[in-house]
């Protein structure tokens, strides 16, 4: 390994040369406190910084992080997550941003969101701590700017490393709290099944977000902190926080009702993102949901490939058997039925819905509409007629925000009314309403709910190379995957929160594409992906080391695969 002084000399010799001359810097460079490993440098200053791979490696003993911080998986994940956040913060404070052509002058790392996730940007093992960073080597036009590069590599980067990757320079209480918070949330989530719950929201939680597009908590003096109704209160002992209390949502059918702007959707959003552990200060640190919960919504215009929607939609005029429904432009109702069927196929155990993003004709047909349009002329069986069967026959729970139809009262186990962001258990009250105003609508659909047919995805329609023959798998944002020449719209996948997750899913599809050989169904493909990652980590998904992948669920893997317009299944 060459010395840092040799690197400085090499930079001097490159000044003013063509940008491609930076390629001579690849390899290892030894600095006093760490090693700089340059695996790959883009040949063009306009290339995304993430296409380069720069690694900072520090001996574990020198970094100073005690063994207890990585003795179990959740602690190690939280430690790595914390270090990624510290590096991102310090690089933002210290680095002067773009300086020169294209992405010149950047030092950063994949930006973490509000969730504590396993990421490839930081590696911690018994031997070393490693940061995989993004660095844009500076250029003037397409010429090397050695003086700026020297400032970046010998002044800014060492300071960022010193303040973010060495335990002595970090706030020990902040670090420990980060790890303990993740450990408590993980423990709490693992207890849900034993308690017969699908979700838990701790008292004192702050649910409102800064805005509709931000996941940071709303910070106002009058923000209403969450408090469970006594009838739904559950107490749980945690490893670090001790005994806590909050609202437990039991398995079954739960309605969240209330007037507009009273917090119904805010509560549901908390539940849908309870599949993740949240950072200290997020406000939802002890709000957890079973890992198999899926937020379902309508998505007019999406493609659907040979999906069994016959449990909800049947006898479509002039169409093929709905047990193998295919459409390049699905309607709201068929897209929602397909989303449910695909989720059940992938292993969902809880469905989360908000009437605002559902297809009305899929959710309910009232008595008057039933009188006008006979069932024999209506292919859709309303969800209200199937939601109980989902639970009694398939053990799939539903949590539904509903403000427009009281017919759902009759099929619900629990009804929570949000009043100015405060939950109230109104189950008893609605029982009285049902007695006084019994529903007059007729139950529709079959008496049982069939499981959707299994599908076997084939690899021939998934081409990862674009029109120029270049391998292209990327995610500009969490809701868009670029796969070859395909742009996959993922707007309705609300539980994908970081682009690094979406990119990892794209890489996973590429990695297991060769195993889609006509023998393995969707669930088997999901299990194969999970087993590979458990065995070899997220690095197995890319043949080149990278710092921009993050963990994802098999449910999102299947959801992305199902939205690829090139997908072929049998």
**pLDDT for position 380:** 94
Q: What is the mean pLDDT of residues 497-522?
A: 95
Q: What are 179-193's pLDDT values in tens digits? A: 999 999 999 999 999
Helix (H) or strand (E) holding 194: none
**pLDDT for position 511:** 94
Q: What are 84-99's pLDDT values in tens digits? A: 999 999 999 998 778 8
Q: What are 402-435's pLDDT values in tens digits? A: 988 999 999 999 999 999 999 999 999 999 999 9
**pLDDT for position 50:** 78
**pLDDT for position 461:** 87
318 has a pLDDT exceeding 80: no
469, 474, 476, 481 alpha-carbon torsion, rounded to 10°: 90
Tokens of 443: 């139950």
In sequence order, which residues have a C-beta less than 8 Å from that of residue 190 and are 6 or more positions away? none
- DSSP for 515-570? G-BSS--HHHHHHHHHHHHHHH-GGGG-SS--S--B---HHHHHHHHHT-TT-EE-
Q: What are 221-231's pLDDT values in tens digits? A: 789 999 999 99
- What is the pLDDT of the chain when averaged over all its residues? 94
Q: What is the mean pLDDT of residues 333-360?
A: 97
- Three-state DSSP at 208 gives coil
Q: What are 367-392's pLDDT values in tens digits? A: 899 899 999 889 999 999 999 999 99
**pLDDT for position 47:** 86
Q: Are strands 397-401 and 350-354 parallel, antiparallel or unpaired?
A: parallel
498 vs 321, residue with greater confidence: 498
Q: What is the mean pLDDT of residues 539-556?
A: 95
Give the domain ranges of the chain. Answer: 2-170, 457-569
- DSSP for 414-478? EEEEEETTEEEE-HHHHHHHHHHS---PPP-S-SS-PPPPP--EESTT---B-TTS-B-EEEEET
320 has a pLDDT exceeding 80: no
């Amino acid at each position: 390994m060459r010395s840092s002084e040799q690197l400085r000399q090499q930079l001097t010799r490159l000044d003013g040369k063509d940008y491609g001359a930076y390629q001579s810097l690849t390899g290892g460079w030894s600095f006093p406190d760490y090693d700089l490993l340059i695996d790959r440098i883009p040949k063009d200053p306009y290339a995304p910084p993430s296409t380069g791979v720069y690694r900072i490696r520090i001996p574990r003993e020198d970094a100073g992080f005690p063994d207890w911080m990585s003795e179990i998986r959740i602690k190690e994940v939280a430690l790595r997550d914390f270090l990624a956040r510290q590096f991102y913060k310090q690089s933002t404070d210290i680095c002067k941003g773009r300086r020169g052509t294209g992405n010149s002058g950047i030092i950063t790392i994949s930006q973490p969101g509000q969730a504590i996730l396993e990421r490839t940007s930081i590696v911690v093992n018994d031997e070393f701590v490693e940061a995989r960073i993004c660095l844009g080597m500076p250029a003037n036009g397409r010429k090397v700017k050695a003086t700026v590069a020297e400032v970046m590599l010998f002044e800014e980067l060492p300071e960022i490393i010193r303040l973010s990757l060495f335990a002595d320079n970090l706030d020990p209480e902040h670090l420990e709290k980060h790890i303990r918070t993740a450990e408590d949330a993980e423990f709490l989530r693992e207890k849900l099944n034993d308690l017969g719950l699908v979700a838990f929201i701790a008292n004192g939680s702050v649910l409102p977000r800064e805005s509709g597009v931000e996941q940071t908590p709303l910070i106002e003096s009058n923000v209403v902190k969450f408090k469970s109704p006594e009838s739904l209160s559950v107490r749980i002992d945690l490893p670090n926080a001790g005994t806590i209390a909050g609202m437990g949502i039991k398995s079954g059918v739960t309605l969240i009702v209330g007037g507009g702007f009273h917090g119904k959707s805010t509560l549901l959003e908390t539940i849908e993102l309870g599949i993740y552990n949240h950072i200290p200060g997020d406000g939802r640190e002890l709000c957890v949901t079973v890992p198999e919960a899926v937020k379902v919504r309508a998505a007019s215009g999406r493609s659907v490939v040979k999906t069994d929607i016959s449990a909800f939609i049947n006898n479509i005029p002039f169409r093929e058997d709905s047990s193998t429904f295919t459409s390049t432009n699905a309607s709201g109702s068929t897209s929602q039925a397909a989303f449910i069927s695909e989720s059940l196929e992938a292993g969902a155990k809880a469905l989360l819905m908000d009437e605002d993003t559902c297809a009305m004709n899929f959710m309910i047909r009232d008595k008057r509409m039933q009188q006008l349009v006979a069932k024999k002329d209506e292919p859709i069986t309303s969800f209200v007629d199937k939601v109980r069967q989902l639970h009694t026959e398939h053990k799939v729970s539903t949590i539904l925000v509903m403000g427009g139809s009281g017919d759902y009262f009759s099929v619900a186990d629990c009804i929570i009314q949000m009043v100015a962001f405060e939950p109230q258990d109104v189950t008893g009250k609605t029982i009285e309403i049902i007695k006084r105003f019994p529903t007059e609508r007729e139950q529709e659909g079959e008496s049982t709910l069939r499981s959707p047919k299994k599908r076997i995805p084939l690899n021939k329609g998934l081409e990862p190379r674009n029109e120029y023959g270049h391998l292209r798998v990327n995610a500009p944002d969490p809701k868009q995957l670029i796969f070859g020449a395909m742009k996959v719209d993922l707007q309705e996948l609300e539980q994908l929160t970081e682009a690094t997750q979406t990119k990892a899913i794209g890489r996973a599809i590429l990695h297991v594409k060769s195993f889609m050989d006509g023998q393995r169904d969707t669930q088997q493909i999901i299990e194969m992906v999970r087993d590979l990652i458990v065995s070899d980590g997220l690095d197995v998904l890319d043949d080149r080391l990278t710092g921009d992948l993050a963990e994802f669920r098999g449910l999102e893997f299947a959801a992305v695969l199902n939205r690829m317009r090139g997908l072929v299944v049998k």
